[in-house]
Structure 1
Amino acid sequence: MVNPIRSGNMRKPNEIMRILVTTFVGGVFGFFLGVSFPTLSLSQLNFPSSLIPSIDLTYIEDKYSGLSTEAFLNAWSSLKGNRGSSLQFSLNETKIWVPTNPRGAERLPPGIVESESDFNLRRLWGMPSEDLAIKPKYLVTFTVGIDQKKNIDAAVKKFSENFTILLFHYDGRASEWEDLEWSKRAIHVSVYKQTKWWYAKRFLHPDIVASYDYIFVWDEDLGVEHFNAEEYIKLVRKHGLEISQPGLEPNQGLTWQMTKRRGNSEVHKETEEKPGWCTDPHLPPCAAFVEIMATVFSRDAWRCVWHLIQNDLVHGWGLDFALRKCVHPAHEKIGVVDAQWIVHQSVPSLGNQGKAENGRAPWEGVRERCRKEWEIFRSRLADAEKAYYKGVGIDPPNSTEV
């Protein structure tokens, strides 16, 4: 641009007028250009750090490339009160986007979000903060039919007020338990002819049971004369077990050596099996293994196990061989509690809920499906692991089989 002052002398009046006209025309042209393209480049603006919180302006500019100057200034004005916040806000006034909010709750301010729940009973009156005299720390579930009412009554009495009791009724006769005093404090879920893993997948979501330190997922045919739940929890904590079960009475026709109670120890985590049954001393059924009849899970372990349970495979066969995938190292965090032991009474009550077909008894069809589900689960898990390793370009380890 030519300097209007040269050698100390003013330019001629016509040159000064030309400069003024040019400046005016340029200003008018810039105004109309700005109206026609009202997009503001946020990343090129330099706002004092004391006036605006730490926000990724490039991210906002990319996501809202059509943002008008007016809209940005309105949004910036609303953000000034949140100085120092690490939250990322959508510039739409009707939506607050926070990375920690659960999916679907993006429109809620994070301070109001309650993503977890429990089975604690609440009153219909009084103050909510005064509802619970004692807040249970643990959850125990039984899948039951009315024929095992006496046995379940004895079992429930082994659990203190620190336990929430949840009964899954597979025979539709939940009302017939109302004469038991503790039944009025228990939670009852009744769905006709379903298994405990069907119930678990639908009613024990990790966010629903998140307030409980341990979750017991038990069958109905367990003798508990030698079992104390509070003492059991103490031993589980002492030995660092994330997945466990009580030892089983050894004279009741056991399938696996691992679950057999030992009289000279509090807990055991490994065993010796029949020749050829264990490919590795740290793998099932010689270690990292408990059965699915009386399993106890820590909160963290259950969050993984719930996702491992297949929605359509309701008997859970094969699941006990895969539980090790949810804790590490599994051979140290999965074990059997010998000092608190139970008796598996082997009552085929659920088997009798099957259907007699082609001259076969109801339990035969149930058992056949159990075996089929084991094969399906084994194949699914192996295929999923192989697909993952192939996707990342590495050879799968030899221990992916269930």
Structure 2
Amino acid sequence: MKFITATDRYIFRRVMLPLLATLAIAASLLLLEKMLNLFDFVAAEGGPVSVVWRMLANLIPEYLSLGIPIGLLLGVLLAFRGLATSSELDIFRAVGMSYFRLLRVPFLLAIALAAVNFAIVGFLQPSARYLYEELRFELRSGAFGAKVRVGEFNNVGKNLTVRIDESKNNGNELSGMFVFAQSNNGQSIAVTAEKGRFLRTDDPDTILLRLQKGTLVHDAPNYTSPRVFSFTSHDVPIPLPQIENFRNRGGKDREYLITELVHIGGDAHKPASERNRAWANFHFRLVEVAMMLLLPFLALALAIPPKRSTSALGVFLSIVMVVTYHKINEYAESVGGMGVVDPFFALWVPFLLFAGLILWMYHVIAHVPGGQPIGALEVFASKAGKWLKHLFRFGRKSRLATLGMPTPQAEP
């Protein structure tokens, strides 16, 4: 007897299309929303556009860890909802296939995706998050040469001020230049120029500002009056400021690998607060991955609408349940990290309650004749829909009567 049958392959095809589509849409929407903020941030810091793509690339693992569970849930749910509304599910049941048997492929997918998600949240996401924070730090510190802003007086190096009216061709063509420099012995120069450009030198700690068609005013304590010069071309060496090194990885709990969290949590020499935060984040990652193994049960329980109904309430409710559980885990992580509750109980008790609810819903749909785990909600949604439809129709008749127009008659 084959382990994977034609029915399994058919269900696999039905699941994969909405799964991949949901994952792609969710990741794209999250990236697009973050992209706008990053463009604003990089533009405000004056950094190159290429940094935005590097920062977004480091956010992909985090968004995948959120999108994979949602994709799995909606993939299985929409596949079985399609089977139920087209009566194919009734045929499978009529030939003796149980719901648990039909969930064979979804469970295999859940196990595989849970392993992928564990690798992401346990090892890939912490490193990517650290690289993202490093890029933010380098932008703020001017490591990309991003501290010379157009139209502002910029302090570049020690005792050096530069202002640029206009920048073209990615900073290679500058116009409206003003430079003021002062040395420790009291000497100072003030330069205005029509054009300028920054050039590299052999010294990595120094860049050259080449000015064209301008005026230089040189003053010193022993000068009776400042000296004024006109020039066609003049070079001003600019020592680059020392850039502070970024902190080591692990400044935040989510930057630790999952193995490092275990080491920190078990180190008796660490402060209790640090151990609690490490264990809370460790259990948070585990319950988020373990929850994926319950999603096929949840998807099936919410996928099958009542007979002669095409209600999509289960789709909406599934997203609400998963998002709510995720928020509960985040709150439990913060409570466990503060030491109010033991991190193990803070994270695993909600998981067991959520698992019990899902298994009860699956039991009702699979083993109770005519059972519908959200039957009461379906009835309420149906009545609410009829009430809103009646209210809309009554309001329309009232508006037509006010305008003196004939109202439509109800069909017999």
Specify if TM > 0.5.
Answer: no
Q: TM-score, with normalisation over the residues of structure 1?
A: 0.18
- Per residue, is there more helix in 1 or in 2? 2
Q: TM-score, with normalisation over the residues of structure 2?
A: 0.18
